[in-house]
Structure 1
Amino acid sequence: MFVRTASERDLIAVRALLVETWHATYDAIYGAAKVTEITDDWHSIASLRSRLTKPVSEFLVADDGKRIGGMALAECVDSGKLVVLKQLYVLPSLQGRGIGGMLLDEIIESFPEARAVRLEVEEQNTRAIAFYEANGFVRSADVGKHTDASGKPTLVYNRPLVG
């Protein structure tokens, strides 16, 4: 897999990746019908297309030449000092092979002036939490700005980039 900037031609594959990953991750938590409702809205082609041109952001895919195996989206805020990781997903069949780490590294390299990375994660997404903690993220006392499908606030994790 190699990591590159996403383009219009990737959107159908990215949507398929997100739908598959969300169902694998969240069906047991929210139910398949709710996950389908969420992915139909948040991961529509139109929604994904709008992310391609978002200012001060990076939309990446992990590609092996035959398929898109992962994706990541982040934006820089606070005058370039903070990277907000909005999405990082890897196909379930490819998880545990370093693809998520490659995407995360490239996101960080895309914002050389940043001092920290921040993300929000669903409390019951234990695999994601384990991944982020293994990659230097620490849970913050802050409450997430987003709520999960059950209406609970998401957990906030931070990773400093410079000491």
Structure 2
Amino acid sequence: MFVRTASERDLVAIRVLLVETWHATYDAIYGAAKVTEISDEWHSIASLKARLTRPNSEFLVADDGNRVGGMAFAAATTTDAKIILLNQLYVHPDCQRRGIGQALLEEVEASFPEARTLRVEVEEANAPAVAFYRAQGFLPAGNTADCGGGSGLPALIFEKVIG
């Protein structure tokens, strides 16, 4: 798979990837109904489309020409352009453990040359994600009671010094 900038023609495939990955990852944690509710809001075509034009952001897909196997979205925080929030990094369960997440993360880092900190919020019960970010050099930096802003779900905050 190669990493490239997402476009409007990718949005349906990205939504499918996110819905399937979220159900595979979070049904056992939150229940299928809650996952569907969150996906319908966060992963709607309209929500994804809005990210394509967001200033100071990068929206990426990992694509092999036949399918989108992974995606990432990151944006500079509104308070400090040197802090980048990795809002999403998801790899379809069928494509995990092939270096796709690492390739997406590396491209996110390269997309913000002025940045000094990359921050991500991770569900504590998502042990594979916690292990992935730790392996990529992220360190614990606190927690939040409202992952993603508006979810009301708690999450760990990890940060990595970059640049």
TM-score (structure 1 length as normaliser): 0.93
> How many residue pairs end up in the alignment?
161
List structure 1 segments (4+ residues) > 6 angstroms apart after TM superposition: none
Q: Is structure 2 residue 1 aligned with structure 1 residue 13?
A: no
TM-score (structure 2 length as normaliser): 0.93
2 CA distance for matches of 1:152 and 1:64?
A: 33
2 CA distance for matches of 1:6 and 1:50?
A: 12
2 CA distance for matches of 1:116 and 1:61?
A: 22
- The Cα shift of 1:153 comes to 2.3
Contact 1:30 1:150 in 2 (8 A): no
Q: Is structure 2 residue 44 aligned with structure 1 residue 44?
A: yes
Cα deviation digits, residues 104-133 of structure 1 (max 9, x gap): 000000000111101111111111000000
2 CA distance for matches of 1:35 and 1:101?
A: 25
Which amino acid in structure 1 is aligned with residue 7 of structure 2? S
Contact 2:84 2:115 in 1 (8 A): yes
Cα deviation digits, residues 17-38 of structure 1 (max 9, x gap): 0000000000001111111111
Distance 1:150 1:39, change over 3 A: closer
Contact 1:80 1:111 in 2 (8 A): no
Cross-structure match for 2:127 = 126
Which runs of 5 or more residues in structure 1 are unaligned? none
1:19-34 pair list within 5 angstroms: 19-34=19-34
- The Cα shift of 1:144 comes to 2.0
Which amino acid in structure 1 is aligned with residue 13 of structure 2? A
Contact 1:3 1:106 in 2 (8 A): yes
- The Cα shift of 1:145 comes to 5.8
- The Cα shift of 1:151 comes to 4.2
Which runs of 5 or more residues in structure 2 are unaligned? none
Which amino acid in structure 1 is aligned with residue 135 of structure 2? A
- The Cα shift of 1:83 comes to 1.0
2 CA distance for matches of 1:6 and 1:37?
A: 24
Match of 2:143, SS?
Answer: strand
Identity between Structure 1 and Structure 2 (%):
62
Cα deviation digits, residues 52-96 of structure 1 (max 9, x gap): 100000000000000000000000134421111000000001100
- The Cα shift of 1:152 comes to 4.6
1 CA distance for matches of 2:104 and 2:10?
A: 16
